[in-house]
Amino acid sequence: MAVVYNWAGLAPPPPGADLDIAEVSSSREWAGGDDVLIISGSVTNTAADARALPPLRVTLFDAANRQVQESIVEAEKPVLAAKETVHFSVRIVSPASTARRMVVSFDTTAAEAS
């Protein structure tokens, strides 16, 4: 049935469409003897109507640009109203010591599998 809706141009926007991830920053702290990487930022719905907020994927890369760790977290708010902004904070306990760079994106694997 989804194919018919896609063909007719009535398909819902893909996960993450019209959502902007911004103001991403990171910090570190020690908690209970563990190194903790804290990644925070915001997601803004730039559309004129509500959008579903997919889980966030935080990927860590080493100096050679190889993926060394990944964390997927559910959004605290499943839907963002038009023009709404929500802030996020992701905590990764014991991040890979070789990590040098991070990327925050939307996890669309569940949507792609359906």
Domain boundaries, the chain: 16-107
pLDDT confidence bin for 9, thresholds 50/70/90: low
What is the C-alpha to C-alpha distance for residues 110 and 114, in angstroms, rounded to an integer?
A: 7
**How many residues appear in the chain?**
114
> Are 70 and 58 within 8 A, CB to CB?
yes
- Cα dist from 75 to 36, 68, 87, 88, 113, whole Å: 20, 23, 10, 8, 19
> Are 73 and 92 within 8 A, CB to CB?
no
- The pLDDT tens digits for 54-110 are 999 999 999 999 999 999 999 889 999 999 999 999 999 999 999 999 999 999 886
* pLDDT over 90 percentage in the chain: 75
pTM metric for this prediction: 0.81
Q: What is the mean pLDDT of the segment spanning 32-49? A: 95
Q: List the CATH code of the domain at 16-107.
A: 2.60.40.3230
